[in-house]
Amino acid sequence: MAVSFGSAAQARNVDIGAGYNFIPGSAYVSLGYRHAVPGLTTFGIDAFLITTGKEERAVRPGPEFSLDGLVYLPGYPVFAKFGAVAGWGKYGLDGGFGVDLPLASAWFVRLQDTYFTATEDRTGGMESENLISAGLHYRF
């Protein structure tokens, strides 16, 4: 099967990954699935468990869960993502974009920028933040 540069449309549709969020003490693990629609594009769904680190004084550091749908630009490893985030006293929406840079047949590096808007249970106010992350993923 021929595979174009960074194409998510290969026989390997499931991936796992781990990475660093550019906030002190923050990281993520993820599980994803890709589905190629011939002649259209590749769609995906990713589940992220994020440790939030110490980005805020008002909110305790703790885990957050994000579930996102992904849409890839046809023929390129670039994607847009939209979804929901919940956990550790907050819930809301997120969206962003990223790129999957292939390293080998099954390994790739993911660079992504995600914008979160969430309501905090502790203060009742809205919180918005931008999260840039880099991770190593394995597709199987």
According to the model, what pLDDT value does residue 55 have? 54
First to last CA, the chain: 15
The pLDDT tens digits for 57-104 are 555 556 889 999 999 999 899 999 999 999 877 889 999 999 999 998
- Mean pLDDT, the chain, integer: 84
Neighbours of 34 (CB within 10 A): 22
What is the model's pLDDT at position 61?
59
Mean pLDDT of the 117-131 span: 77
Task: Please give the model's pTM, rounded to 2 decimal places.
Answer: 0.82
> What mean pLDDT do residues 106-125 have?
85
The rounded percent of the chain whose pLDDT value lies above 70 is 81
pLDDT tens sequence across 20-31: 998 877 899 999
Residues whose CB falls within 8 Å of the CB of residue 128, separated by 6 or more in sequence, listed in order:
115, 116, 117, 118
**Among positive and negative, which fits the CA dihedral 60, 62, 65, 71?**
positive
Residue 127 to residue 116: CA distance in whole angstroms: 8
